Amino acid sequence: MNAYDFKVMKRDGEEKSLRDYEGKVLLIVNTATGCGFTPQYEELQDLYETYGEKGLEILDFPCNQFGQQAPGSDEEIHTFCTGRYGITFPQFAKIDVNGENAIPLYRWLTDNTRFDGFGKSPMSIILSGVVRRTDKNYKNNGKVKWNFTKFLIDRKGEIVARFEPTNMKKLKEAIEKCL
């Protein structure tokens, strides 16, 4: 099984096969419009503009599971993201990434990656405390911990790396290696 074996829902409710992205490098990210990490949309758009023609696709999945920070309809979220950050990469229907309602793509991603920590920045320390309150065992499971967790998929549809929201520095280098 690989990433191309999954189907997801577009904002308009239509099903989309990830097979349509076969041969591309995918960056799959769960997002939120009211999060401290929301400005990462600008960095993601920069990555898309820099590497899109080389085969990078960024797949944006809004998620309201962390602090209820993605309120609104799919269209309201999309209007915010295009208006404020000018995103042009695909944005899909709002989803759950953890729990019984998690979409199959995210079940696969979290079952096949592990959490390697948030790093050592001040934001990392704060985020660890917040996550610990809802998941005492957070360090030992693959669940998505917060908004803007990113999964990098190579051209064969295999998971290459997982990046927590506090770790944007190594992302560009990893994308370049995959391309």
Active site residues: 35
Q: Is 91 helix (H, G, I), strand (E, B) or coil?
A: strand
| Beta strand residue intervals within 6-158, DSSP E | 7-9, 15-17, 25-31, 56-62, 150-153
Of 2, 83, 154, residue with least CA distance to 91: 83
Of 153, 154, 155, 135, residue with least CA distance to 145: 135
Contact between residue 151 and residue 158 where contact means Cβ atoms under 8 Å apart: no
Beta bridge partners of 60: 29, 91
For the record, the structure tokens of 64 come out as: 């309201």
